[in-house]
Amino acid sequence: MQENHTTIHTSNSLTSFREAVQAGEFLITAEVAPPKGGDINHTIAMSATLKGRVHAVNITDGSRAVLGMSPLAVCAILCQHGIEPICQVACRDRNRIGLQADLMGAHALGIRNILALTGDPVKAGDHPDARAVFDLESVRLLQLITNMNQGLDFNHRTLVDGGLDLFPGAAVDPQSKSWSGLQSRFERKVQAGAQFFQSQLITDFEKLEKFMDKIASGYNKPVLAGIFLLKSAKNAQFINRMVPGVNIPDHIIQRLAKAKYPLEEGMKIASEQVRMAKDLCQGVHIMAVKKEEAIAPILDLAGVSR
């Protein structure tokens, strides 16, 4: 009996983000949330508005512990549409076996960029009674990715079917109240293998400048400042209440409150912040929750392009 040998062809890897990092370009990324359901079309449409405008599109992994489609599935679909993703991987919902399985799957699907996250507390989300895992946290996840890139699993045993080729990044909060904690955690993430950093929402650009000068400057890893589209004064006040460590200044809230068209004013504020970030760090990461179509116009207002 003759055997049939079938070769599985995976999607082509997209690596322009890695190439831009290595070339020292000013980096632009943006965040798109996965759907809460089975229809991917809106997510594809929003991501398509960013094609050619950003280096990569972040797909969140249960951000704020709110249910959404698997980022691995969304990223694979974006790859099929020629849109380079950054797949967020949070430790909250998977143990080390599940994390390694997903990382191997990401590699096989042509997904290369991974943002390693600890994950938001379950109590903050829409399933507060769910059981959190947190077998690892972000630093150990970065170490795991580094090992797997070298062909080793968590237990330092050989991956018999080949190592991975993932490009890991991490989150950073330059506005952290603990300066020593910020410095220590940033250094540990670099040592664990982080190749780029995307920051939390930035409102205090003096703190960002201090972080860049005193900490990040010594490591030659790009930091992308988190720029958040505030849609109204009410939206800004909600974020102040609900997002730990964020303090949107009163003058910005008042500016939004007085604006005839608050969304347009929020876009102007975001574009001004993009320009400020351009003078301080190596890129921007734009978050416009449920208004992703506004990201390209914000970049236009800021006069920033790839």
Q: pLDDT tens, 64-95?
A: 899 999 999 999 999 999 999 999 999 999 99
Distance separating alpha carbons of residues 59 and 57, to the nearest angstrom: 6
pLDDT of the residue at 137: 98
- The pTM assigned to this predicted structure is 0.94
pLDDT of the residue at 6: 40
pLDDT of the residue at 97: 98
Q: Is 109 strand, coil or helix?
A: coil
Distance separating alpha carbons of residues 243 and 257, to the nearest angstrom: 20
Whether 229 and 287 have beta carbons less than 8 Å apart is answered as yes
Interval 143-168: pLDDT, tens: 999 999 999 999 999 999 999 999 99
278-290: average pLDDT: 96
Residue with tokens 């720029």: 227
Q: Length of the chain in residues, anyone?
A: 306
Interhelix angle 96-108/138-149, rounded to 10 degrees, is 50
12 confidence band (pLDDT: 50, 70, 90): low
5 confidence band (pLDDT: 50, 70, 90): very low
DSSP 35: P
Q: Please state which CATH number belongs to domain 18-302.
A: 3.20.20.220
pLDDT higher than threshold 90 for residue 3: no
241 confidence band (pLDDT: 50, 70, 90): confident
pLDDT higher than threshold 90 for residue 215: yes
Taking alpha carbons only, the member of 139, 130, 134 closest to residue 172 is 139
Percentage of the chain exceeding pLDDT 70: 96
Q: Give the start-to-end residue ranges of the domains of the chain.
A: 18-302
pLDDT of the residue at 124: 86
Where does 172-294 have alpha helices with state H? 179-192, 205-214, 233-242, 250-258, 262-278
DSSP 53: T
